[in-house]
Structure 1
Amino acid sequence: MNIDRFRTLAGRYLPGLLASVVVAIAARSLASQYQAPVMLFALLLGMAMNFLSAEGACKPGIELAARGVLRLGVALLGTRITLEQIAALGWHPVLLVVISVVVTIVLSMLVARAMGFNMLFGLLSGGATAICGASAALALAAALPAHPGKERATLFTVIGVSALSTVAMIVYPMIVRAVGLDPIQAGVFLGGTIHDVAQVVGAGYSLSHEIGDTATVVKLIRIAMLLPVIVCAVMITRAQGGHESGQRPPLLPWFAVAFLGLAVLGSLGGITPALQKFGSGLSTWCLITAIGALGMKIQLKELTTVGIKPVVLMLGQTVFLAVLVLGLLWL
């Protein structure tokens, strides 16, 4: 790439990318200070700066952050998972996670249709609830076909799962004590139900180190479920004729292939602990930057028109998942 071409691309994308990064830095700082979900802060700060996404110098870079940086962040999630971590727990937690994810997503799609929503909203919100919160919502949004209200639905889902995950971090340890779960059961319950990784860690280690370790690994197994769900989302996209570009996407998008490749590489010992930590941290920063950019693309007044039914749907998904996992633990 020659210098002139590089300058042209930098001039086109750098302002919006820098704006998105500034939002991410501010969100991370506020989340650290107030012990609140960083994704939620990124969304709110992004929406407060939505004037930047209008026609102007920042628009192309914001679009790039909301799509390209998002896909990079999803791909790097693969650095968090190894087969050794999954095998250490045995087959029961893995089977529990697979059942809970599949049942929650399928039921969410059916209920969404019964409530008059596009079934894709059920897939989006159900996937976010069942897999890994805001990260799953962003990953699925990247794979799903364009449809009216997609970005608004994505933002609403991220807000909802972030808020519910924070509530779960406080309430679920109380449930663990109330029902008398042993440390392994407690870790499986927390890791199998709380939406976001940070809240799983917070809830698990607030009880004990053993519970925290188990909860974290179970959460990673849920993250591993992201790949087959993305494949299903892409198959839906292909069946409906294509993506935003109007073309049929590949069955496995590049970020899904990279996700799988990094997970396998880590399992084979090809990723050192230092690289794993770096990849996981970079993934987090990419996702925060992307959600900030996504927030800039939406008007706040559009979110106020969603009504009560989406709130009821997401609350019902969360409660259903908790009851289902508890029931499977007692089988």
Structure 2
Amino acid sequence: MAADLYGEMQLESAPPARRHWQAYFPGILVTAIAALAAGWLADHYAVPIVLMGLLIGLALSFLSQDRRTHAGLDLMSQTALRIGIVFIGARITAQQLADLGPLPFALLALIMIAVILITVTSAKLFGQSRDAGLLAGGATAICGASAALALYSLIGDRRVDQARFTLTLVGITVASALAMTLYPVLAAEFGLSDAQAGFLIGASIHDVAQAIGGGFSYSPAAGEVATIVKLTRVTLLAPMLMLVALWLGRSGESEGTARIPLRLPWFILGFLAVAAINSLVAVPKPIDDAAATAASTLLLLAIVATAMKARLHLLVDQGWRSFAPIIVATLTSFLLSLAAALCL
């Protein structure tokens, strides 16, 4: 349940088993109720609805221990998010990409490489293996749990056991949830512009839902920039994995056998197609408003469901050194992204 939207699509060896629609109902129902509660609180207390959705979802994370909610929570956290990303494309134009320029994307690639190298190098300082550092650094730098899944398929379970892998998934999920809550506040304290805040959030938060949600909790403009930056990180998953595979293969350390296909997932292609249409055609305002409402609704549902799936209880019995690579990677990603945002 910790995996996010790109890794599962890229790495699954067989399509998931078909379920009857009734299997989705419990998870969808609790997600919808939590989202409505978030909407009520946001409306009455003037707080960001996405932030309320995250906090309520975390508070209800115990519900994910009931297997009856799994199918619905998976549907809301993955499929709803993917469709929502496509609708966000209606808020993006080619002019926005041109306004950003090439510098943010060059800085983004440098940040990703630096996060991986620093995490791998520092792992031994905390009594952790280099492979554990690679797993944590790669998952943080690229796109969260999906990158962890892909990297684990390359590293192999003889060098990083299942317990360490599970711990990494839990750690990056919790770190991403906390970052979504904290980073927009820090961006406001630093007085960042919408573009700077969007870059900081999109470049440093691990998982897609939290990165986009954090951006929109700062401002709509920051959310659009965060979406572009975050989806750029997602598209870099395959090339980054190729470099890691070559590195591991050259050093004779690769034990995984999974093949990582070099293709873009459908939701990014859909996002680009909708953004292209929005750039070339004058979309009627009712359609534009409907797309914005659909994107906001689906994003809220996805964030609530993702927060519900966070296994916070697994952190209680673990020593802090077990999470040191994740902490190092998260702090490095934030500091480098902040420095880059200030340069924009």
Normalising to structure 1: TM-score of the pair? 0.68
User: In the alignment, what sits opposite 1:166?
Assistant: 184
**Equivalent of residue 108 in structure 1, options 108, 115, 131:** 115
Query: Matches of 1:122 and 1:283 in 2, distance apart?
Result: 30
Alpha-carbon offset, residue 156 of structure 1:
1.7
2:92 touches 2:224 (CA, 8 Å); kept in 1?
yes
Alpha-carbon offset, residue 126 of structure 1:
3.7
Kindly provide the amino acid, as one letter, of the partner of residue 230 in structure 1. Answer: V
Query: Matches of 1:142 and 1:262 in 2, distance apart?
Result: 24
Query: Matches of 2:52 and 2:281 in 1, distance apart?
Result: 35
Query: Matches of 2:133 and 2:239 in 1, distance apart?
Result: 16
- Give the direction of change, closer, same or farther, for the CA distance of 1:168–1:96 in structure 2 (3 Å limit): farther
User: In the alignment, what sits opposite 1:119?
Assistant: 134
Query: Matches of 2:107 and 2:240 in 1, distance apart?
Result: 21
Alpha-carbon offset, residue 120 of structure 1:
4.9
Alpha-carbon offset, residue 28 of structure 1:
3.4
Query: Matches of 2:319 and 2:39 in 1, distance apart?
Result: 28
Deviations 1:251-297 (A, max 9, x none): 11111211211111211126434333332332232233223223333
- Give the direction of change, closer, same or farther, for the CA distance of 1:84–1:72 in structure 2 (3 Å limit): same
User: In the alignment, what sits opposite 1:321?
Assistant: 337
Where in structure 1 are there 5+ consecutive unaligned residues?
A: 1-7, 128-136, 177-185, 203-215
Query: Matches of 1:120 and 1:281 in 2, distance apart?
Result: 37
Query: Matches of 1:82 and 1:276 in 2, distance apart?
Result: 13
Query: Matches of 1:48 and 1:263 in 2, distance apart?
Result: 35
1:65 touches 1:289 (CA, 8 Å); kept in 2?
yes
User: In the alignment, what sits opposite 2:289?
Assistant: 277
Query: Matches of 1:31 and 1:125 in 2, distance apart?
Result: 30
User: In the alignment, what sits opposite 1:132?
Assistant: none
Q: Is the counterpart of residue 14 in structure 1 residue 34 in structure 2?
A: no
Instruction: Describe how 1:129-144 pairs up with structure 2 within 5 A.
Output: 141=145
Query: Matches of 1:188 and 1:45 in 2, distance apart?
Result: 28
Q: Is the counterpart of residue 152 in structure 1 residue 164 in structure 2?
A: no
- Give the direction of change, closer, same or farther, for the CA distance of 1:14–1:187 in structure 2 (3 Å limit): closer
User: In the alignment, what sits opposite 1:252?
Assistant: 264
Kindly provide the amino acid, as one letter, of the partner of residue 119 in structure 1. Answer: L
Alpha-carbon offset, residue 82 of structure 1:
0.7
**Equivalent of residue 223 in structure 1, options 220, 227, 245:** 227
Query: Matches of 2:71 and 2:257 in 1, distance apart?
Result: 26
> Secondary structure of 2:190's match?
helix
Where in structure 2 are there 5+ consecutive unaligned residues?
A: 1-18, 124-131, 153-164, 203-213, 246-255
Kindly provide the amino acid, as one letter, of the partner of residue 16 in structure 1. Answer: G
Alpha-carbon offset, residue 237 of structure 1:
6.6
Query: Matches of 1:290 and 1:97 in 2, distance apart?
Result: 27
Query: Matches of 2:133 and 2:274 in 1, distance apart?
Result: 33
Deviations 1:193-229 (A, max 9, x none): 3553235428xxxxxxxxxxxxx3x763553244442
> Secondary structure of 2:68's match?
coil
Q: Give the count of matched residue pairs.
A: 277
Normalising to structure 2: TM-score of the pair? 0.66
> Secondary structure of 2:41's match?
helix
Query: Matches of 1:118 and 1:62 in 2, distance apart?
Result: 30
